[in-house]
Amino acid sequence: MVKEAEVVMKYISTRGRSPALNFEQVLLTGLAPDGGLYVPEVLPQFNQQEIADWAGLSYPELAFKIISPFINGEIADADLRHLIEKSYSGFSHKAIAPLRMLANNEWVLELYCGPTLAFKDFALQLLGNLLDHVLTRNNQKVVILGATSGDTGSAALEGCRHSSHVDIFILHPYQRVSEVQRRQMTTVPGENVYNLAVKGNFDDCQRMVKTAFSDQSFLPAGRQLVAVNSINWARIMAQIVYYFYASLNLGGPSRQVSFSVPTGNFGDIYAGYLARKMGLPIKQLIVATNRNDILHRLISTNEYSLGELTPTLSPSMDIMVSSNFERYLFDLFERDGKAVANFIAGLDAAPQQLSTSQMKKLQQEFSSYSVDDSRTCEVIKQIFNETEFLIDPHTAVGIEAARVCNVDHTVPMITLATAHPVKFTEAVEKAGLQSPELPMHMSDLFEREERCSILENDISAVTSFIRKHL
Ligand SMILES: *Cc1c(COP(=O)(O)O)cnc(C)c1O
């Protein structure tokens, strides 16, 4: 293969007013200074023959093929291979991302075999290893700061805690995460690990994180904040891999496949969109949402408007404004950063609309559906009755959306199973089924010692806590 050495991978902001960065810089930051998100200036492209030649590769081998063009030699190939290998070595299934058949041409991709039982491990295990590698090389220490409504926190702590070059602070809304989710965070050992329960909701936590990133003067000299939320480009990059992997295991690329993706912040499905743009033949990409359906309303009726955030049985998708949707809008607005910024800023004042041609493109690229809690429980029960396979509520939303939106039953339809049902027992019980047991490596979760600090809903409480503990 000819190495396209002349192409230097650069990352640019979706708002168009920040300098371009290289991979290492983009890894070690959060939002761009202009408030945008970083995206690659040019996407790597793979032709059908190249993709076909990857059939039979193991997950880490395939991950190397897909990820290395994004890193563009900033990490030596041998080191990168090792970091990828290490990131997926702790998964409990040899396939890393096993496919399970539900019915004829109906599949789920089980993305919850990592240490914290949700798909976020795919990105955060790798992010932790990439950070440690780069920081060790630079002899640099950073502060990781993130907000979580549940799954990101534990995955980030598991992924990053082994690095002596990071201190990690994770904010979660006090008493608003499930007990399993809380214990998965608060029982993580390590002198560099801090859980902060904020007396507010998830939006309060996320806002404080953003404020802290925009003014980092509270940090000691030489320290900087690094994001572990999906605003960090490296998380998106890692997630592109399993779209290729699933396709290759079902006859791709000579055969198309479709994906239904339970969607919150739009990170996961955006990775699928990129996989398609990089050359993977994908028929449908389905945005599956719960009652918090701003994206479904936009895709189906061209209305982009804020609503009341409703708590649901699939809480990891209880998000009003999906941050990564901005990365897609950047393409939809033909990379006009100013137009993206205006569209997003306008949302606070009034509902926004896309032009006719933009709507046409959006609907060509995505289908969408919104599933309420009672239907979610029915689907959990139905799948269990049909196959004896217990799914979590996020996956149930995905499966229902897949069934409703499917336009071609000759194409394999793959729903991404984003979490293990043990994390969301309320939905399982409401479906009239018995909660599953904790997997072996977590069986003593309820006996482990918890460590957590409860803080007022106040940014200065958070920044002074961080400063005191560095
Ligand atoms: C984070 C999460 C989602 C939503 O993923 P996005 O990338 O934010 O769209 C869906 N399901 C589960 C279980 C999650 O943890």
Residue 120: active-site member: yes
Q: Is 2's pLDDT higher than 60?
A: no
| Atom number, ligand 1, closest to the C-alpha of residue 424 | 13
- What is d(CA 350, CA 352) in angstroms, rounded to the nearest whole number? 6
Distance 186 CA to ligand 1 centre (A): 21
| Distance between CA atoms of residues 181 and 200, nearest Å | 17
Which of 149, 268, 292, 392 to mutate to test ligand 1, by most ligand atoms within 8 A of the CB atom? 268
Residue 202's pLDDT band, with cuts at 50, 70 and 90, is confident
Which atom in ligand 1 lies closest to the alpha carbon of residue 112?
A: 13
Query: What distance in angstroms lies between residue 230's CA and the mean position of ligand 1's atoms?
Result: 10
Within 6 A (CB) of ligand 1 lie: 118, 120, 151, 230, 262-268, 316-317, 394, 418-419
pLDDT at 7 over 60: no
Which residue has the CA at smallest separation from atom 11 of ligand 1? 418
CB < 8 Å & 24+ apart, contacts of 66-70: 66/240, 66/241, 66/244, 66/278, 67/237, 67/238, 67/241, 69/4, 69/9, 69/44, 70/9, 70/23, 70/40, 70/44, 70/237
**Mean pLDDT of the region 281-307:** 97
Q: Which position among 3, 10, 86, 120 bears the catalytic label?
A: 120
Cα(250) to centroid(ligand 1), Å? 24
Closest CA to 235 of 304, 177, 159: 159
Specify the pTM: 0.96
Q: What is the mean pLDDT of the chain?
A: 95
Mean pLDDT over residues 302-306, rounded?
Answer: 95
What is the rounded average pLDDT of the residues 175-195?
Answer: 93
**pLDDT for position 396:** 98
Check: CATH 3.30.420.10 for 99-117+233-430?
A: no
The residue whose CA is least distant from atom 14 of ligand 1 is 316
- The span from the CA of 228 to the CA of 323, in Å, is 13
**Would you place residue 319 in the very low, low, confident or very high pLDDT band (cuts 50, 70, 90)?**
confident
Q: Closest Cα to residue 95, out of 126, 133, 148, 59? A: 59
Average pLDDT rounded to a whole number, residues 391-407 = 98
Residue 6, pLDDT above cutoff 80: no
Place of tokens 């480009």: 233
Q: Cβ of 78: how many Cβ atoms within 10 Å? A: 8
Token pair recorded at residue 161: 């805690």
CA of 262 from ligand 1 middle (Å) equals 7
User: Per-residue pLDDT tens for 451-463?
Assistant: 999 999 999 999 9
Longest dimension (CA), the chain: 59
Identify the band that residue 309 occupies on the pLDDT scale cut at 50, 70 and 90.
confident
pLDDT, tens only, 94-144: 999 999 999 999 999 999 999 999 999 999 999 999 999 999 999 999 999
pLDDT in tens, 351-382: 999 999 999 999 999 999 999 999 999 999 99
Q: Which atom of ligand 1 is nearest to the CA of 419?
A: 13
Whether residue 58 has pLDDT greater than 80: yes
Expressed in angstroms and rounded, the spacing between residue 316 Cα and the centre of ligand 1 is 5
pLDDT at 5 over 70: no
Comparison of pLDDT for 414 and 30, the residue scoring more: 414
